[in-house]
Amino acid sequence: MNKYLFILTFLTAQMMMSQNEQPNIILMIGDGMGLTQISSGMYAHQNTTVLEEFKYIGLSKTHSLDQLVTDSAASGTAMASGVKTGNGVIGIDGKNNFKQSILEISKERGYKAALVVTSSIVHATPASFYAKVHSRNYYETIALQLSEHEVDIFAGGGKKHFIDRKDKRNLIEEMAGYTFVEDISEFEATESKKIGFLTYDEEPPNLIEGRKPALDKMVSISLEKLENQGAPFFMLVEGSQIDWGGHDNDMNYLLAEFKEFDKTLREVLDFAKKDGNTLVIVTADHETGGLSLVGGNYKKGKVKGKFNTEGHSATMVPVFSYGPSSEKFIGIYENTAIFDKMLQVLDATKN
């Protein structure tokens, strides 16, 4: 073979290989994180956010099956499984079909999976990726469904739903294949491939009240572990309490939670840049508080917000994407399209 032809063939093969290699997918949801929450967090923190490093930006329509204003269950289900459903419903569409989530589909295709959140692990947003229940309030059922699942790493609160149950079962004991860790150093140290880290008995407190461990720390440890497992991974990261700051109409609460989420973005984006085959999608399930930004001083890191509701609002939310296939996420689309696009990414690559 001609030397140059050989080099060309070699290079083409290399290119094909990298195109067909299954990418990691990291979906980051700031619950209740509309554009004003992002703007507020940015101006309050040296007029900067890691989101400025994302090249592709889209907008997502968040309405649920029958309500203009969605809740986190319906919007979580839309992004996780690609269907609109009623508020409060997880993993089941309007015709009572139980839907596979992108986490479950990726698992079938050889992926590892992780969930890392700052609410309880059975709360609506993470639950949308593994549970199928008619009400988000069925926490014990959701915990049971997680225990029967194959999520490789999960971290979040809500331990009581696993051990202090009406049916008297102890799910932690039943999950024999898992190592349950008690704190961040145990989490870091364990070499187990299946890890449960139930950070609090109840819902974790907010950051100002001293929530630990930090989301960015939990995520960076999880990334390190996933990277060493020799398979691609799907990971959901949720800044769960940006939403709760909005419900409380509490700007300081919201800003602290956003800051931690932004620090976590730093970890994730640095990982993706280094890895070269990691798709990162950052979005929200809806906006919370009907927040508008009416004053402040970015040089002093001060922002003045005005809330219009203690509930959610129906405004579109931004979608930021980075990495392979990130250009798919530009434009305006329904939140269900986030699932469709992630599935296209899985379909375009082989096992």
Alpha helix locations (H) across the chain? 3-20, 35-44, 72-81, 102-108, 124-127, 139-147, 160-163, 171-174, 184-189, 215-227, 242-247, 251-275, 336-347
Of 122-161, which residues contact Zn ion (CB under 5 A)?
none
Q: Distance between CA 131 and CA 144 in Å, rounded?
A: 9
Nearer to Zn ion, 74 or 195 (CB): 74
Nearer to Mg ion, 225 or 312 (CB): 312
Task: Check: CB of residue 55 under 8 Å from CB of residue 326.
Answer: yes
Task: Check: CB of residue 281 under 8 Å from CB of residue 319.
Answer: yes
The entry of Zn ion, Mg ion, none near residue 22 (CB within 5 to 8 angstroms by kind) is none
Dihedral over alpha carbons 265, 292, 244, 340 (to 10 degrees): -50
Nearer to Zn ion, 243 or 257 (CB): 243
Order of strands across the sheet with 112-120?
A: 179-181, 195-198, 153-157, 112-120, 233-239, 24-30, 278-283, 317-322, 56-61, 331-334
Nearer to Mg ion, 37 or 125 (CB): 125
Cα–Cα distances (Å) from 112 to 109, 222, 230, 267, in that order, read 9, 11, 9, 19
Backbone angles phi, psi at 154, to 5 degrees: -140, 140
Residue 250 binds Zn ion (CB under 5 A): no
Give me the least distance between CB of 289 and Zn ion, in Å please. 9
Give me the least distance between CB of 241 and Zn ion, in Å please. 10
Give me the least distance between CB of 213 and Mg ion, in Å please. 18
Q: Find the part of the chain contacting Zn ion (CB under 5 A) among 16-24, 62-70, 129-137, 240-248.
A: 240-248
Task: Check: CB of residue 264 under 8 Å from CB of residue 215.
Answer: yes
| Residues with active-site annotation | 72
Q: Find the part of the chain contacting Zn ion (CB under 5 A) among 42-50, 111-119, 243-251, 338-346.
A: 243-251
Q: Which residue is nearest to Mg ion (CB)?
A: 125
Give me the least distance between CB of 156 and Mg ion, in Å please. 10
User: Considering just the CA atoms, what is the radius of gyration of the chain in Å?
Assistant: 20
Nearer to Zn ion, 243 or 267 (CB): 243
Give me the least distance between CB of 244 and Zn ion, in Å please. 7
Extract the tokens encoding 173. Answer: 């004991």
Give me the least distance between CB of 235 and Mg ion, in Å please. 16
Q: Exposure of 175 by Cβ count < 10 A (0-12 exposed, 13-18 middle, 19+ buried)?
A: middle
Residue 267 binds Zn ion (CB under 5 A): no
Q: Which chain residues interact with Mg ion by CB under 5 A?
A: 31, 72, 125, 240
Nearer to Mg ion, 38 or 303 (CB): 38
Q: Which of 243, 250, 257, 260 binds Zn ion (CB under 5 A)?
A: 243
Q: Find the part of the chain contacting Zn ion (CB under 5 A) among 7-15, 155-163, 188-196, 235-243.
A: 235-243
Q: Which residue is nearest to Zn ion (CB)?
A: 243
Count residues binding Zn ion (CB under 5 A). Answer: 1
Residues that bind Zn ion (CB under 5 A): 243
